[in-house]
Amino acid sequence: MGIWILILLKNIQIKSISKFSFSLSLFFFSIEECVICNYFVLVGEPTAISCPVITLPMLHSDYNLTWYRNGSNMPITTERRARIHQRKGLLWFIPAALEDSGLYECEVRSLNRSKQKIINLKVFKNDNGLCFNGEMKYDQIVKSANAGKIICPDLENFKDEDNINPEIHWYKECKSGFLEDKRLVLAEGENAILILNVTIQDKGNYTCRMVYTYMGKQYNVSRTMNLEVKESPLKMRPEFIYPNNNTIEVELGSHVVMECNVSSGVYGLLPYWQVNDEDVDSFDSTYREQFYEEGMPHGIAVSGTKFNISEVKLKDYAYKFFCHFIYDSQEFTSYIKLEHPVQNIRGYLIGGGISLIFLLFLILIVYKIFKIDIVLWYRSSCHPLLGKKVSDGKIYDAYVLYPKNRESCLYSSDIFALKILPEVLERQCGYNLFIFGRNDLAGEAVIDVTDEKIHQSRRVIIILVPEPSCYGILEDASEKHLAVYNALIQDGIKIILIELEKIEDYANMPESIKYVKQKYGAIRWTGDFSERSHSASTRFWKKVRYHMPSRKHGSSSGFHLSS
Amino acid sequence: MALTIALLLLHAEAAGSVPCRAPALQTKVFKYRIWDMNQQSLYLRDDQLVAGHLQGANAALEEKVFWVPNRFFKHELQPVIMGIRNGTRCLACPAAPQPTLQLQDADITELPRSGAASAPFTFFRTYKDGLWRFESAANPGWFLCTSARAHQPLGLSRRPDAAHVLDFYFQLC
């Protein structure tokens, strides 16, 4: 190119001022629109060079074309017998000699305009030991696993009158005989070899040679082609690499790159995305589909399309995204579907389950701790609403049994049984108690009274004191045995044990008491005999009330005793 | 002096030939080699694409083809817009009884957005046995072709015959 600029500048300088603008435009032309400037010929072979400007539309009318050796004002001869001559617009070298290498100028004149072009002829010798020169080769490309052609080019000017289709001899790496391969077919009219099923082994240097007869003398005209074989996968059908009709889990609002790609032996087989029967760009204007392609080894092309979902929206979960490509007039499709992440649902389920179990556990603990309060609150608030129950035929809510006080006993069970118990249960809570020693009438047989009253009672309250001397008395009491017997066996009456003081050892207690203690447990009196301990809302009394039957309004009032 | 003026003018012309582009290139422009089944490559001569065999160092004159899919037309037709010189000179084939091929200044990345106006620049592709054919979208039935004679302009033809080659190799560079 550098040479060209210099040459043309020289032309501009030698032209007159009036021709300056024309030369300048020619100068542009030469820079921008480079045409074939270099011509190659083997020494001893003929060549014909055409002027590169003759196809200009302005030259379709009459024109004169003249060739010059560069730097010479003398036109090259038109004498046909001369080794170098011009004929029908072509510059002939029959044959070319090494010293012919160099620049030549063709000038085209039509009416009042003219154009020049300079070409560069290079005359080569064969490379050592070869039938061609490596700098003169034509590159030709075929694809394996397909048919392909090797063309012997640029022979148009060497057809003479009696030899329209000159015989062409072919050589591969300068050796003949390779045409015995059945896959290779000579296409004479086309100056070509047709390879029916190209293999990698077909690559190499092919030389074609014809004989050109001019003025009774024969000259060789040869061309050498470097055949490159592009590997093409053997009958490989295009297939999706991704997606494979699969789903992907994406969070709402997350960023996703939707990619689809196809591997094939065909370049330019672009896949494309569609959703809801429209292009993804139409489905959402923020989706910008981009196509890409990459060449892989062994002639495999990976063609793809992708778009970004910058923020996954709910509508993206509603449709399948289809990726299509066209091959052999058929449409191939694969889809991808977005889904909400599964592990989160599982997480919610697990979390919810654990919370539920925890809640139940908490409720159980709360119930365990506040069971008594809850039951008492329920009785006080809800029981009246439930209406009156059918009478069970009992008169007393509890039959109270306590050890008669002795002097040796520290605990005043009399005070508890005769004063505190009635104060709380009868006066404050409205229960009706049968307290032996208070309600019994003098002269009645103890056993008869006990039997009868227990039958008429809903509970049996047994008050225990720790001193052996004290419960020793209890032991003897047939009243107690009978009470326990009646309560346990006959009527299934519930027994409430109240310890006035902690009893360490039940070993000396009667078996029946041991049994009751084991079955129902005991409530220990924690208060004293002060007024404060006489409140039904203390913990002790709440426990007692809990074990007491649900109080019946109305029926109890008749038996209410005022202190 | 003349060289300076020329270079300035050349620079101005080059800058003018590239229209404003969108900030982000949304469609990748593919750079391909195209050659016909008779091994003719394309080169530029007098602002025309010419098919011929390029010998030795002349192989450097080969024009690479830049192309984009044109999504205005149905995907099934595999529509493409092709250009040379980085996609600034696009192959155009306006509707005509005898359509001809031209090169027009255009930004290949912008053309697909011009809707129906992109038809003269659009070719529908079909593939068979390793070779592609390119049918003019504006001239149904007319295919891109080379002449069987060397160094003739790229043109359009209705059918392949002894004088016209319709099948091309079309491959990533």
Q: Torsions phi, psi of A132, nearest 5?
A: -150, 170
Contacts with B11 from chain A: Cβ below 8 Å? none
Task: Give me the mean pLDDT over the A62-86 stretch.
Answer: 92
% of residues, chain A, pLDDT over 90: 42
How confident is the model over A488-532, as pLDDT tens digits?
A: 666 677 888 888 877 777 777 777 777 778 877 888 887 777 777
Cis peptide bond upstream of A166, omega within 30: no
Same domain assignment for residues A325 and A447: no
CB–CB contact A135 B61 (8 Å): no
pLDDT of residue A28: 37
Of the pLDDT bands very low, low, confident and very high (cuts 50, 70, 90), residue A558 is very low
* Range from A434-443, A549-558, B81-90, B99-108 carrying the lowest mean pLDDT: A549-558
Q: How close B67 comes to chain A (CA, Å)?
A: 10
Same domain assignment for residues A56 and A84: yes
- Nearest CB to B58: which of A9, A38, A56? A38
Same domain assignment for residues A352 and A310: no
Query: A448 or B20: whose pLDDT is higher?
Result: A448
Query: Residue A506 domain-assigned?
Result: yes
Same domain assignment for residues A211 and A264: no
- Assess whether pLDDT exceeds 50 at residue A59: no
**Is the CB of B78 inside 8 Å of chain A's CB atoms?**
yes
Same domain assignment for residues A177 and A244: no
- The DSSP bridge pattern shows strands B89-92 and B48-52 to be unpaired
Same domain assignment for residues A504 and A539: yes
CB–CB contact A137 B55 (8 Å): yes
Q: How do the domains of chain B map onto residue ranges?
A: 23-172
List beta partners, residue B152. B51
% of residues, chain A, pLDDT over 70: 79
Structure tokens at B168: 């091309």
List beta partners, residue A227. A140, A204
Query: A55 or A321: whose pLDDT is higher?
Result: A321
- Asked if B34 and B44 count as a contact pair (C-beta separation under 8 A), the reply is no
CB–CB contact A137 B6 (8 Å): no
Same domain assignment for residues A84 and A171: no
Of the pLDDT bands very low, low, confident and very high (cuts 50, 70, 90), residue B155 is very high
> Which position has the token pair 């300056």?
A20
pLDDT of residue A492: 73
- Nearest CB to A138: which of B53, B127, B170? B53
Of the pLDDT bands very low, low, confident and very high (cuts 50, 70, 90), residue A332 is very high
Q: How close B124 comes to chain A (CA, Å)?
A: 12
How confident is the model over A449-483, as pLDDT tens digits?
A: 777 777 888 888 888 877 655 554 444 456 666 66
Same domain assignment for residues A79 and A183: no
Which chain B residue's Cα is nearest to A294? Answer: B172
pLDDT of residue A480: 64
How confident is the model over A413-439, as pLDDT tens digits?
A: 777 888 888 888 888 888 888 887 777
- Assess whether pLDDT exceeds 60 at residue B19: no
Q: How close A354 comes to chain B (CA, Å)?
A: 50
Of the candidates A239, A453, A263, the one whose C-alpha atom is nearest the C-alpha of residue A333 is A239
What single letter denotes the amino acid at residue B50? V
CB–CB contact A151 B38 (8 Å): yes
* Range from A56-65, A96-105, A289-298, A376-385 carrying the lowest mean pLDDT: A56-65
CA gap A458, A453 in Å, rounded: 10
Q: Which of A110-114, B24-28, B91-95 has the highest mean pLDDT?
A: B91-95
3-state SS, one letter per residue, for A241-275: EECCCEEEECCCCCCEEEEEEEEECCCCCCCEEEE
Same domain assignment for residues A540 and A413: yes
User: A102, A124, A146 — which closes off a domain?
Assistant: A124
Of the pLDDT bands very low, low, confident and very high (cuts 50, 70, 90), residue A563 is very low
Task: Give me the mean pLDDT over the A528-539 stretch.
Answer: 76
Query: Residue A375 domain-assigned?
Result: yes
When the pLDDT of each residue in chain A is averaged and rounded to a whole number, the result is 81
Of the candidates A3, A94, A81, A118, the one whose C-alpha atom is nearest the C-alpha of residue A41 is A94
> Which position has the token pair 């690499």?
A241
pLDDT of residue A343: 65
* Range from A69-73, A159-163, A251-255 carrying the lowest mean pLDDT: A159-163
Query: Residue A330 domain-assigned?
Result: yes
User: A330, A365, A383 — which closes off a domain?
Assistant: A383
- Asked if A225 and A138 count as a contact pair (C-beta separation under 8 A), the reply is yes
**Is the CB of B130 inside 8 Å of chain A's CB atoms?**
yes
Phi-psi region of A71 (alpha: psi -120 to 50; beta: other; left: phi over 0): left
**Is the CB of B15 inside 8 Å of chain A's CB atoms?**
no
Give B23-172's CATH code, choosing from 2.80.10.50, 3.40.50.720, 3.40.50.300, 3.90.1720.10. Answer: 2.80.10.50
Sign of the torsion angle spanned by Cα atoms A277, A333, A246, A272: negative
**CA-only gyration radius of chain B, Å:** 16
Q: In chain B, positions 95-124, which contact chain A (CB-CB < 8 Å)? A: none
pLDDT of residue A14: 38
CB–CB contact A267 B125 (8 Å): no
Query: Residue A153 domain-assigned?
Result: yes
Which chain A residue's Cα is nearest to B68? Answer: A291
Q: Which of A309-323, A482-496, A549-563 has the highest mean pLDDT?
A: A309-323
**Is the CB of B172 inside 8 Å of chain A's CB atoms?**
yes
- Asked if A186 and A140 count as a contact pair (C-beta separation under 8 A), the reply is no
Query: Residue A56 domain-assigned?
Result: yes
pLDDT of residue B93: 97
Same domain assignment for residues A376 and A333: no
Reply yes or no on whether A173 is catalytic: no
- Nearest CB to B78: which of A31, A145, A326? A326
Of the pLDDT bands very low, low, confident and very high (cuts 50, 70, 90), residue A540 is confident
pLDDT of residue A477: 56
What single letter denotes the amino acid at residue A462? I
What single letter denotes the amino acid at residue A424? V
CB–CB contact A268 B46 (8 Å): no
Listing from the earlier edge strand, what are the strands of the sheet with A320-327?
Answer: A246-249, A330-339, A320-327, A272-275, A278-279
Structural domain including A531 reads 391-559
Query: Residue A129 domain-assigned?
Result: no
* Domain count along chain A: 6
Same domain assignment for residues A142 and A253: no
Buried b / exposed e over A305-333, threshold 16 CB at 10 Å, is bbbebeebeeebeeebbbbbbbbeeeebe
Task: Give me the mean pLDDT over the B49-76 stretch.
Answer: 94
The interface predicted TM-score (ipTM) is: 0.84
CB–CB contact A31 B171 (8 Å): no
- Nearest CB to A36: which of B30, B58, B78? B58
Same domain assignment for residues A22 and A146: no
Q: How close B119 comes to chain A (CA, Å)?
A: 19
Query: Residue A486 domain-assigned?
Result: yes
- Asked if A107 and A66 count as a contact pair (C-beta separation under 8 A), the reply is yes
> Which position has the token pair 């050589």?
A171
Query: Residue A94 domain-assigned?
Result: yes
- Assess whether pLDDT exceeds 70 at residue A307: yes
Of the pLDDT bands very low, low, confident and very high (cuts 50, 70, 90), residue B20 is very low
Sort A106 into a burial class: Cβ within 10 Å, 0-12 / 13-18 / 19+.
Answer: buried
CB–CB contact A154 B150 (8 Å): yes
CB–CB contact B125 A272 (8 Å): no
**From A426, A479, A504, A511, the catalytic residue:** A479
